[in-house]
């Protein structure tokens, strides 16, 4: 009695949730089913535990968007286990077993969802070999999976509880596939009226599609002329640099600057060598080809050396002047003839003001170092005083004595010793 009341309560609940949206209600369909029945043996039944495959066909129809009505007819072959209290002979072989039930499926999600779980409950009747009819109350869970053209796949498990005295409780596991009795209506194809085609600029693109209806253009540009993105007068189809303003001569590209010195090739006198604007795009010149550019070279027309700012090397001239700076043994006095060569040195120093002069006094090896060292220093000082007297800044002169440590000739001969008693002049740039 309690089970019947529960069934009626579920039925009444389904009536209360009837939906207004008929589009979400399942269309009527036939269900093909394959399943398994499982009857459990107890101390009150005859026979062994019985299981068997069953085949079925059913009908399903939506009542509300959440509630479907289902009717199932199933066939199986098994030994039905009766209660021993009924005194029905135990089956000795498998016999035909059919069942028919009526159920409500309450869906927990809307019909439009791909996967929809549901609760099922109903009332059914089974017949063993068309002899004994028993009633049962199926309650269970299932999953509905959306397929194509309004079809669904159903996976379901129910517990079939006893209703009549000879009913044996059992489980039913099934898989089913529904085939709708009516396929979804296809939307009618509406052929619109042919529009009136107006092409005001006669470019072959009708005004309704023409983005430039007052200018002749091309279909691939939606009726507009070929664009000129950089506004340089060369349309984009011919412009090799469509996003940079250029010239027709260079096919829409800017005048090139091959050497990347910021001066375009038409203005650059040396287009393949990086240079400066003030030299017409050429590098700073080196007129005398001495490796020192004219902007640094103080003697741009005469090859020179970097240490003398591009001017000639004056060391050979200094050595020529120093060849007369010879001293008698043990003496520090120079004759006017000796000083004559120094006047040319003064002229060089006045011309090349960046030069510093090293004055090095020397002796032969006659005498001790105690005597020769101050003697060599005095010989350097004699030349120093003459140059200062003639106007050369002391800051440009360095004097030093080397005694007999830097001979230029053999001290074993008188002639060699005479060459070693000297003052050297060396330019320092």
Write the DSSP string, 6-32.
Answer: HHHHHHHHHHHT--S-GGGSPPPEEEE
Cα 322-326-328 angle, rounded to 5 deg: 170
Domain 315-428 has CATH 3.40.50.20: no
Q: Where in the chain is the domain with CATH 2.40.160.20?
A: 2-180
pLDDT, residue 11, reads 44
Confidence at residue 390, expressed as pLDDT on a 0 to 100 scale? 94
Terminal-residue alpha carbon distance, the chain: 127
Helix (H) or strand (E) holding 96: strand 95-107
The enclosing H or E element of 104 equals: strand 95-107
Q: List all residues 6 or more positions away from 399 whose beta carbon is below 8 Å from its beta carbon.
A: 359, 360, 361, 377, 380, 381, 383, 384
Strands (E), 336-410: 356-361, 397-401
pLDDT of residue 371: 95
How far, in Å, CA of 323 to CA of 69, rounded? Answer: 134
Instruction: Identify the pLDDT of residue 13.
Output: 47
Token duo for residue 164: 């009549």
What's the confidence (pLDDT) of residue 396?
Answer: 96
Residue 22: what pLDDT?
57
Among 77, 68, 168, 169, CA closest to 121: 68
| Phi, psi (deg, nearest 5) at residue 334 | -110, 145
- As a whole number of angstroms, the distance between CA 23 and CA 6 comes to 30
> Could you tell me if 203 and 218 are in contact, meaning their C-beta atoms sit under 8 angstroms apart?
yes
Per-residue burial over 369-382, b if 16 or more Cβ lie within 10 Å, else e, is eeebbebbbbbbbb
Distance CA 230, CA 228 (A): 6
Q: Where in the chain is the domain with CATH 3.30.1330.60?
A: 315-428
Residue of 62, 59, 69 whose CA lies nearest to 23: 62
Residue 18 in tokens: 């009837």
Alpha helices in 314-359, H assignment, sequence order: 315-322, 336-351
User: Can you give the pLDDT at residue 403?
Assistant: 96
Q: Rounded CA gap, 2 and 398, in Å? A: 131
pLDDT at 378: 97
Q: Rg of the chain over CA atoms, in angstroms?
A: 61
Can you read off the two tokens belonging to residue 45? 């039944």
What is the Cα 28 distance to its own chain's centre? 55
**For residues 161 and 139, is the Cβ–Cβ distance under 8 A?**
yes
Phi and psi angles of residue 340, each rounded to the nearest 5 degrees, phi first: -60, -40
Give, in order, the Cα–Cα distances in Å from 410 to each of 76, 365, 372, 406, 416.
137, 10, 17, 11, 5
Tell me: domain 2-180, CATH 3.10.129.10, correct?
Answer: no
Helix (H) or strand (E) holding 70: strand 67-78
Digit-by-digit pLDDT tens for the chain (429 residues) are 444 444 444 444 444 444 345 567 888 889 999 988 887 766 566 555 567 788 899 999 889 888 999 999 988 887 777 666 666 666 677 778 888 899 999 999 988 888 999 999 999 988 877 667 788 899 999 999 998 888 889 999 998 888 776 667 788 889 999 888 876 555 666 777 666 678 888 888 888 888 888 888 898 888 899 998 989 889 888 988 998 898 988 888 999 989 898 899 889 899 999 989 988 899 999 898 888 998 888 788 888 888 788 888 889 989 998 888 999 999 999 888 878 789 989 999 999 888 999 999 999 999 999 999 999 999 999 999 999 999 999 999 999 999 999 999 999 999 999 999 999 999 987
């Amino acid at each position: 009695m309690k089970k019947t009341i529960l069934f009626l309560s579920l039925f009444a609940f389904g009536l209360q949730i009837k939906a207004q949206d008929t589009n979400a209600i399942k269309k009527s369909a036939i269900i093909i089913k394959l399943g398994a029945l499982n009857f459990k043996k107890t101390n009150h039944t005859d026979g062994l535990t019985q299981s068997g495959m069953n085949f079925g066909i059913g009908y399903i129809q939506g009542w509300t968007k959440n509630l479907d009505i289902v009717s199932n007819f199933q066939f199986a072959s098994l030994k039905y286990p009766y209660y021993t209290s009924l005194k029905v002979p135990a089956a000795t072989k498998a016999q035909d077993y059919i069942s028919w039930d009526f159920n409500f499926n309450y869906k927990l999600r809307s019909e439009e969802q791909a996967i929809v779980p549901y609760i099922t409950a109903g009332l059914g009747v089974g017949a063993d070999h068309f002899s004994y009819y028993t009633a049962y109350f199926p309650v269970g869970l299932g999953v509905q999976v959306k397929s194509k053209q309004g079809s669904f796949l159903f996976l379901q498990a129910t517990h079939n509880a006893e209703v009549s005295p000879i009913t044996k409780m059992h489980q039913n596991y099934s898989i089913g596939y529904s085939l709708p009795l009516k396929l979804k209506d296809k939307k009618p194809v509406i052929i619109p009226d042919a529009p009136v085609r107006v092409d005001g600029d006669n470019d072959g693109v009708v005004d309704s599609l023409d983005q430039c209806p007052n200018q002749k253009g091309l279909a691939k540009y939606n009726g507009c002329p070929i664009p000129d993105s950089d506004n340089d007068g060369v349309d984009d189809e011919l412009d090799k640099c469509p996003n940079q303003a250029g010239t027709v001569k260079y096919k829409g590209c800017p005048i090139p600057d091959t050497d990347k010195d910021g001066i375009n090739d038409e203005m650059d006198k040396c287009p393949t060598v990086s240079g400066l604007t003030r030299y017409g795009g050429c590098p700073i010149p080196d007129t005398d080809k001495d490796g020192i550019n004219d902007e640094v070279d103080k003697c741009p027309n005469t090859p020179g050396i970097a240490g003398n700012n591009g001017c000639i090397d004056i060391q050979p001239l200094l050595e020529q002047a120093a060849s007369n700076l010879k001293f008698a043994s043990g003496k520090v006095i120079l004759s006017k003839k000796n000083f004559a060569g120094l006047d040319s040195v003064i002229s060089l120093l006045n011309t090349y003001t960046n030069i510093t002069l090293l004055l090095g006094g020397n002796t032969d090896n006659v005498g001790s170092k105690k005597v020769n060292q101050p003697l060599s220093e005095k010989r350097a000082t004699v030349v120093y005083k003459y140059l200062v007297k003639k106007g050369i800044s002391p800051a440009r002169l360095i004097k030093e004595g080397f005694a007999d440590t830097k001979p230029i000739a053999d001290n074993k001969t008188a002639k060699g010793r005479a060459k070693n008693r000297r003052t050297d002049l060396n330019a320092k740039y």
